[in-house]
Amino acid sequence: MREIAIIVNGAKRVVHVEEDTPLVWVLRDTLSMTGTKFGCGIGVCGSCTVLESGKAVRSCQIPASEAKDRSFVTIEGLSPDANHPCQRAWLEEDVAQCGFCQPGMILTACSLLRDHPAPTDEEIDTAMSDSVCRCGTYPRMRKAIRRAATLMREKKS
Amino acid sequence: MIASRRAFLKTAALSSASLVIGFDSRGLFGAEKKEAAQFNPNGWVRIDGDGTVTLTIGKSEMGQGVRTSLAMILAEELEADWSKIKLVQASPGPDFKRLGTGGSFSLGGSWKPLRHAGAAAREMLIAAAAARWKVDRSACTAANGFVLRKETSERLGYAELVAEAAKLPTPADPPLKKAADFRLLGKPTKRLDGHDIVTGAAHYGIDTKVPGMLYASIERPPWEGAKAKHSENDKASKVPGVKKIVPGTNGIAVVAENTFAALKGRAALAVEWEDAPKDAFDSNTHTRRLEAASRESGFITRQEEPPAGTGAVARTIEATYQYPFYAHAPLEVMNCTADVRPDRCTIWVPTQAPNALQEAVADSLGLSVAQVEVNVTLIGGGFGRRLAVDYALEAAELSRAVKAPVQVLWTRADDTKHGHFQAASAHRLFAGLDANDVLVSWQHTKAGSPHNLRRKAGPEAVRDAGYYQDLSWGVYDVPYAVPAIETRYVSVDVPVKHGPWRSVFAPSSVFSREAFLDEVAHERGADPLAFRLALLNGDDEVKAGSLTIDRWRLRRVLEVVREKSGWGGKEPAPRHGRGVACNVYDGDTHIAYVADVAVDPAGVVRVERVVAAVDCGFVVNPIGAEQQIEGGILWGISSALLGEITFRNGAAQQSSYRDFQVARMHDTPEIEIHILPSEAPAPFGMGEPPVPPIVPAIMNAVFAATGKRIRRLPIQAGELKA
């Protein structure tokens, strides 16, 4: 058991966990922040995605010892009230079905749009195809990503 | 007698729904009655003194949008203010004795009872207002949470009427609204859970947190029924956070203070399982058994003798189709949290079968059903897997053993290897053509396996035509007008667990039927779409078992995809092809697809575009209906082109999305959906119906692109190499 400080959604959190505990379990079990989902534990589904410096990372692949002193944004911290362009676009395009994978998908889309403010179909495929939605919400996700890109551009101008 | 699955679900849905009539104000919310004035005329509707409208949802939400669509039905008749309603999820209890979600029956089965419940409440509120104004009921109307007095435009909010309405008798036969007056039903309506989903606030079973809870992971036997020869637990016990190691019914459980400690403890177990017997289940061997069984005579599920004057069969076409095992693979792995005390048990669980689960847990703990409280959470993907209750029995067993609340969490590998799979099947088909090449004879034998989730049927089980028809939707209800039809079912046992999977028994049947029909069309040099339309030109209504097939509806959806897809247009590019397929799901939802595919030189198939036409009766929420079609298409792409489950030595060989691949963003085609206006007075199901016809539409397109007929799913690597 070790004392480890991580920054989650801008707040410093000091946790007492085993060093090898993956970040997903620190978030979910230790901090009771369940918006970050467990889906596979081996980095193939994307449900546990969180952001670090705006970039999507898989919290099941980051042991607490490595998460130390790093800063992460989870779905709970993406915006004060679902007003991030990706969240708005997700609601406007009615993306979600069961919704379980969607926090990870939304954060993955945020990361994509940071790197590619006007993504092509190929860029969307590349960024999003590491994640799984068994309900098959991909057609609407694609539309939502385009809409979010537009919303972000409007915000800037 | 064993109730067929379909009959079971229909009975379940109707029973829970019909209870509404019997509810009274001392029922579901009795405990809260002592508080301020409250109006709850039935189990579905409650209005508090502050005007809050709370609607009870009796179906599990697993992505089909049912919490929104059922609320729409209630709110429409209640004339509630949609922006102010609250939802509660029904729990099993005296008022909800048959909760269950499946069979694409939520909307069809809830339509009348929920409208009735909403209308009864609305009539009582109107009656209360009319009494206060001392006018006739006919002088009043209701809208948006108010009762209005027509002549004076006075109005009373529902909150003000709660106390008086609660004293009135519940009308037995309240008037229902006319479809033309609907404000909500039929209008695109956003998910009530949408905000929670995009903010991470939505709570699934896996998100359950209970004070003092422990977490468990179970090391499971590699093959069904394997016993541990030896188990070394010392290392596992020493993993920090591990509290106890419990040998249980389904394996050796490690119970710990947190999930990761449980997983780590499990990994530290050294268990030697007994070797699988030589004849342990092997899916290759099973494929051969099914193929042989498909040549047996089996049970006749439909037989139509050719009328006099039918041409004699001059030549036959025959083929065998093979369908594999599939996993459900929902994103949320199986899980359940249980808190067992000496005299009661509380459960939090993502399940499609709350009452069956309650009964099974009560039975396993030796408690009465009333002592088991089941809280149904949101479900991160059901697809039929969560009609089984194995995860709940595990949680209850462990909570009792460690005397603390326990969450059992399956790993992805547990979920992939220990599912209740879609069972493999084989289909043998014959077509007989007369001297003029007219299709005069159709034979289709399905060799498959009834579900083995429930208790095995005893010898007294009635296995009549209805029973076998239920196992072969898509076979016996072939919609086409062929003079001689004979369909059969051959039952083959499978020792691994298998159960309902999205659209249950239909996918293999519709795949083989629609692909084989394509073979017959090509053999005759006919256009496959025109050939189908010609075969649907008989009587509009055809009886098959308990179902009525409406050929007019099926022709109509085919005609729409013909037009919208540009069927028969310009010649496709090399290794590009277009295919069509259609189906009537369980006698109600009618769907036709045209799929365009491209096959690259390596043989990789890409579905480029799908045009869908659907007649699903009255459409409650067009957004929900479209989502289900999109999801059904992606589900079909997964099963046509991607993962399957195979067994060696009794064990499933796949363990995650890495080796059981499902569709991803890059597999997603352009999708064009046409939901046809329907004069049907009620909604049909939509969760399952979009699945069965998409696979044959894709495979028929693959044939058009490559000249190769795929008769075994999924397409194997290299099979279509140029």
The CATH code that applies to domain A2-77 is 3.10.20.30
Number of domains composing chain B: 3
Same domain flag for B48 and B71: yes
Amino acid identity at B89: Q
Same domain flag for B176 and B194: yes
| C-alpha–C-alpha distance, residues B25 and B148, integer Å | 25
Q: Do A99 and B193 touch (CB under 8 A)?
A: yes
Residue B589 lies in a domain: yes
Q: Does A112 touch chain B (CB under 8 A)?
A: no
Same domain flag for B482 and B567: yes
Say what the pLDDT of residue B286 is: 98
Question: How far, rounded to the nearest angstrom, does the alpha carbon of residue A156 sit from its chain's CA centroid?
Answer: 22
Say what the pLDDT of residue B465 is: 87
Say what the pLDDT of residue B54 is: 97
Taking CA B512 as the corner, what is the angle to CA B510 and CA B518, rounded to the nearest 5 degrees? 100
Q: Do A35 and B662 touch (CB under 8 A)?
A: no
H-state helical runs in B424-477:
465-470
Q: What Rg do the C-alpha atoms of chain B give, in angstroms? A: 27
Question: Are the C-beta atoms of residues B358 and B369 closer than 8 Å to each other?
Answer: yes
Say what the pLDDT of residue B463 is: 78
Q: Single out the residue of B676, B675, B595, B681 nearest to residue B640, CA to CA.
A: B595
Interface test with A, best of B623, B668, B686 (most A CBs within 10 A): B668
Phi and psi dihedrals of B653, rounded to 5?
-90, -15
Same domain flag for B494 and B396: no
Residue B717 lies in a domain: no
The residue in chain B having the minimum alpha-carbon distance to the alpha carbon of residue A138 is B665
Same domain flag for B258 and B115: no
Same domain flag for B342 and B311: no
Q: Does A47 touch chain B (CB under 8 A)?
A: yes
ipTM > 0.85? yes
Residues 6 or more apart in contact with residue B694 via CB below 8 angstroms: B581, B593, B595, B610, B632, B633, B635, B636, B637, B640
Residue B393 lies in a domain: yes
Q: Do B411 and A41 touch (CB under 8 A)?
A: yes
What is the fold of A85-156? DNA polymerase; domain 1 (1.10.150)
Q: Single out the residue of B595, B585, B584 nearest to residue B504, CA to CA.
A: B585
Q: Does B633 touch chain A (CB under 8 A)?
A: yes
Parent domain of B242: 205-275+334-409
Domain ranges of chain A: 2-77, 85-156
Same domain flag for B357 and B501: no
Write out the two tokens for A4.
């480890």
Number of H helices, E strands in chain B: 17, 29
**Residue B191, class by beta-carbon neighbours within 10 Å (0-12 exposed, 13-18 middle, 19+ buried)?**
buried
Q: Does A100 touch chain B (CB under 8 A)?
A: yes
Half-sphere exposure of B252 (CA within 13 A, CB side): 25
Strand partners, B578: B596
Query: Which own/partner pairs from B467-470 qualify as long-range (CB within 8 Å, at least 24 positions apart)?
Result: B467/B2, B467/B4, B468/B299, B468/B301, B469/B301, B469/B302, B469/B544, B469/B545, B469/B546, B470/B4, B470/B5, B470/B6, B470/B7, B470/B505
Q: Do A135 and B631 touch (CB under 8 A)?
A: yes
Query: End of a domain among B165, B199, B233?
Result: B199
Same domain flag for B619 and B587: yes
- Residue numbers of chain B with a pLDDT score lower than 50: 1-35
Residue B301 lies in a domain: yes
User: B553 in helix, strand or coil?
Assistant: helix
Same domain flag for B396 and B435: no
Contact map slice: B 692-711 vs A, CB within 8 A = none
A68-81 core/surface letters (b: 16 or more CB in 10 A; e: else): eeeebbbbbbbbee
Query: End of a domain among B379, B409, B439?
Result: B409
Rounded (10°) angle between helices B622-641 and A138-156: 120
Interface size A-B, in CB pairs within 8 Å, comes to: 184
Say what the pLDDT of residue B464 is: 85
- Please give the torsion angle defined by the CA atoms of residues A55, A59, A62 and A65, in that order, rounded to the nearest 10 degrees: 110
Alpha-carbon gap: B499 to the closest alpha carbon of chain A (Å): 18
Residue B286 lies in a domain: no
Residue B371 lies in a domain: yes
CATH number at residue B367: 3.30.365.10
Q: Does B655 touch chain A (CB under 8 A)?
A: no
Q: Do B331 and A136 touch (CB under 8 A)?
A: no
Same domain flag for B640 and B624: yes
Residue B414 lies in a domain: no
* Least CB–CB distance from A132: residue in B196, B382, B664: B664
Pairing mode, strands B344-349 and B372-376: parallel
Write out the two tokens for B385.
């897997």
| C-alpha–C-alpha distance, residues B259 and B252, integer Å | 15
Q: Does B623 touch chain A (CB under 8 A)?
A: yes
- Using an 8 Å CB-CB cutoff, list chain A residues near B67: none
Residue B192 lies in a domain: yes
Same domain flag for B76 and B20: yes
Residue A143 or B6, more confident: A143
Same domain flag for B354 and B433: no
Q: Does B657 touch chain A (CB under 8 A)?
A: yes
